[in-house]
Each structure stands twice: as structure tokens, then as C-alpha cells.
Structure 1
Amino acid sequence: MFRMFSLPALLLALASCASAPASVAPAPEPPLRLASWNLEFLAEKDGDGCAPRAPEDYAAMRRIADGLDADVIAFQEAESPVAAARVFDPARFTIVMEERPGAPGGTCGGKYPQQRVIRQAVGFAIRKGIPFDRHADVTSLMLGNAQLRSGVDITLRPRGQKPIRLLGVHLKSGCFAGSDAKACPVLLEQIPALEAWIDAAARGPDRFAVLGDWNRRLSLPGDSVWREIDDGDPKNADLRLADEGAAPKCDPRYDSFIDHIVLDKRAGEDLLAFTETLYAPGEAHHSDHCPVSVTIAARTPR
């Protein structure tokens, strides 16, 4: 005996037998790319400062900045946000800079004896769309001297990832190794202030990195500055020097980096790559520094 089914009932029965569509796994979060670049007296106006530039120089520097494909670029030696915006496209980046006004004065000497000295300041260019918190500037690095740079302190909060805290720095120039150079008493006095920030961040909940122009060859064997900050106390202050084992190719006169990206234990475990971006063969060096970058694996909240 055959049982008759209505058409709607038949369709419902067929649908119930169909296999459910396979669930699609969410795409993994992309890694973070962090960079640092000393812009060498980047001025607001054409022809100004101790590294006077023409419009085509600013355009070339913007192409380099865009080519880094970085989520965040720590930069040094920019006169102002207006100057920084000539390199970091405001349509792509949010610019934050230290609040220290500085006290520039005098003339440049050297190749440009008639040029005026401009403000040199530290900042970050942060890719639009990435949320971040701005913390108080780390003014302890100034040692009470308006000419010394403060640190810029932010926490990056990429969507779908754990936060990462970033400190941008530019330490005193002239004490690249040892302790005997004229500038060494100043730089070595900045180190305890920097270590205090590192230790406090190491006790905090977020992985972190210190990026910038350290004006110190931290990778030299037995360097006293590296030994002081990389003491593993607290445990996340067991630091990783991203350029360890790499030699710079930006300028053949130098065989050790002074621009560094230093990662705490947590971020160091996520390091995927370190890169130095060079100027094209035959291209003018638009700054006396080349950008350095790291790629860090995404950490998703549990």
C-alpha cells in the first residue's frame, strides 16, 4: 500500500535529509608590522632645517613609508605633525607626537651653516582604523632638559587581537658604545628611566615593544646598556633584540644598528621577521637612517 505525500511535506522531508553545509573557519588575523624610521630633521617647509628638502624628496619619502606596509611606524626627528604628514599620508595614518615643545636655536653648521636648527620630535604614524590609547609622554627620559626627547607611549588595540603597548624613543646621540664619550653621562642617565618604564610594562598585562633611535649599538658583545635593561626581572623583561645577528646595509661605514626594535618576552615569542628597508641603487638617501621593521604574529584573545 502506497502512502501519498503532499508536495510541501515531500520537500520538507528532502530538506531534512540534505547534509548541513560545512562551517567555514574564520580567516586568521594578519600579523602586525611595526617599523621605526629616523627622518633626519624633517621640516614643515621646503628648504628648511639641517637637511633641506625639495617637494620631490618628500614625495620619495612618502613612497618609502607607504611601501613599508606597516601598521605602526615610530618616527624620530620630525618638526611637527604637519612635517610628519608630508611623509605619512593623513588619509592612511593617524599621527601622534610628543608634547615637548623643545627649544631649538642656532644654525646647523657643516654643509648648511646658514640653515636654522628646527625642532626634533618623536612620534607614531598609526594606520587608520586601528584603535589605540594614548598614554602620558615619558618625560623622565628628558632628565629635565628641554632639548632631550621624551618617549611617546601608546597601546595598540587591533581588532580581534590582544593589545600591544609601544614606546617610541630617541635617546641622546654620541654614546654609541662604552662609557667614555662626551655624551655618555647623559645617555647612561636616561637608561634607568627607560628601564623603569620597561619593568612597569613587563609587570602589566600586555606584550610590548620599544622602538626608535637608541643611538646605541646594543648588539655589541657585552654592551652595558643591553645588559642593564635585559635582566629578566620581572620575567617579561627577558627582552629580545629584533636585529640580533643582523648587520645593517644602509651605510657601509657602520656594521651595527643603532635603530632598534626591542620586544618583551611575550612579543619576542611572536617575532616572525626583522627587515631593513634600503634605498634603491642610485637613489639619494633621503635620510641618514634606513627604516627597520618587524613582523609579529597575531595573538587572539582566549
Structure 2
Amino acid sequence: MDRKKGIFLVMTGAALWGIGGTVAKKLFDEFGMDVDWLVTTRLLIAGFLLLGLKFFGKERSQIIAVWQSRNTAIHLLIFGLLGMLAVQYTYMASIQHGNAAVATLLQYTAPAMIIVYLILRRQGEPTRRDLLTISLALAGCFFLLTNGSLSQLSVPAPAIVWGILSGVALAFYTLYAIPLLKKFDSLVIVGWAMVIGGIALSFVHPPWQMDFQALTLEGYAYLFFVIIFGTMIAFWFYIESLQSLLPKESSLLGSIEPLAAVLTTVFWLKQSFGMYQWLGTSCIILMILAVALGEKSSSSTAQISDSKKSLTM
């Protein structure tokens, strides 16, 4: 029963992440919502809710303990700003300029970026699986962004730039989180990182500066979904799934996220996807599966899987 519960939680959480990006696109296009305001509000509310879950759970003392070491506190601040905030902002900016499907798929090229980084740092010898992962990522990006045409892009350039930056930010986020996650619970690290990122972005766009009357009941429903279901519950379910599943299994089932983003973008928002873009989507999903199924003997895939429990959209 615990295993079935874990599978349900990780699949639901991953699907909510993917759908949340598509709903955010709806807010940008139909309600003119500002990306700065949405990211600020999303991070602050979801972050405090995750810390609230930890407060009513086990080892609540970790919420304060994480700040008692100067080195850990600095590490957490950097993670919150250059990791969490960077990932969330670049991802949402890519959605605003393009769509949730492309933004999610570009972000999920992060494992290939990590493998290249570790090889360049000589922290691991490239294996056949590593080369397959990089090849699938490159092929996937090519087909996804060009739809098979060498003369023009099928996605707006700003969406591509923000999407690639989102992948870079996620690669940093993944590697930088490992030492923190070895000392403290994921809810504590992710919750505080969201709060830190939200407070920092509040200086750019305070959450109270918005024309709330201009938002319809439908708009509020979408906003509620993005913050609560697409962020807080998605993170919570994914982290809870690790109580009964291995990180490898959770990351494997988590590949539902880009698939959910693509399907909702195509069938709900009615945005066209060409044949080669579907091929590119397949390549990137296969890349995710290759990483998730990677053996522990590969140092690259091992380091990625070690921090899978912290990954977020």
C-alpha cells in the first residue's frame, strides 16, 4: 500500500507541475498577469506553506537550525537566489514568451548540461549512457525549436533564451542543493529557498502592487491552482513519495511533468505542435528516462539522482 501511495503521489505531483505551467500561460495571455508578480507571489505563499507543513511534522527544529550555522545560512541564501529564484523566474519568463510545453522541455535538458559540466570538471568519465543522454538532448532541442526547418525557428527567440537559461539554472540548482539536502529535510530547504527568492523579488515587484479588481473569478481560480496545486502540493507530493519509493523511481515517474505540459498545451490551449516537435519531445523524454534509469556506477547520473528529491518546476 505504501508503494502504491508513493506512485500515486509522484505521478500526481509531476502532472500538477506540468499542468501548472500551462495554467500560468493562461494567466499571462488572457489576464495580462505580470511574470514578476506571479513568481513573487507563488514563491512566497508556497514557501511559507511548505515550512508550515514541516512545522506540524517531525523534526520541526530544522526550520530554525538551518540558520544557526553561518556557512549553511550563506549556502541557503545562495541557493534561494541563484537556484530557486533563477529556476522559477526563467521558467515562467519562457512560458510567457512561448508556451509551457517548450519551456518545460528546455528546462529538462538540465541533466545533459550537468553531465557535460561534470565531464569538463573531470569528475566523471563519459559513459555510453552519458553520450546517449547528450545526443538525445541536442536532437530534441533541434527538432523542438526548428520543427525540422533550418531556415526559421518554430518558437520565439526570447522563449528559447529564457528556456535555455532555465535549464542552466536547474543544473546549478540540482548540484548546489546536494550538500544542503544531506543535512536537512527537503521541505526545509525548498521552503526557505522559495521564501528567500520571493522576498528578493518583492523589491522588484511587491506582491501587494496589483489591480486585484481586474482579475475575474476565473483568473483567481487559475492563480489558486498555480500557487497551491502547481507549486505547493506538487512539491509536497513529490517529496512525500520518497518515503516509499527510491529516488530513481520517483525521478522516472516524474518524467510525466513534460508530457503533461505538452498535452495540456496542445489539447487545452490549442497550440499547434508539428511532427518534428513531437519527435523532439520524444527525444527529451527518452533523455529523462535514460538519466532516471542510469546505474549508480556512472558518477554523472549518480550525482543527478542524489538530488532528484529537490527538483522543482
Task: Bin the TM-score by the shorter chain.
Answer: under 0.3
Q: Which has the larger radius of gyration?
A: 1
Per chain length, whose mean CA-contact separation is higher, i.e. which structure has more relative contact order (CA < 8 Å, sep 6+)? 2
Q: Whose helix proportion is higher, 1 or 2? A: 2
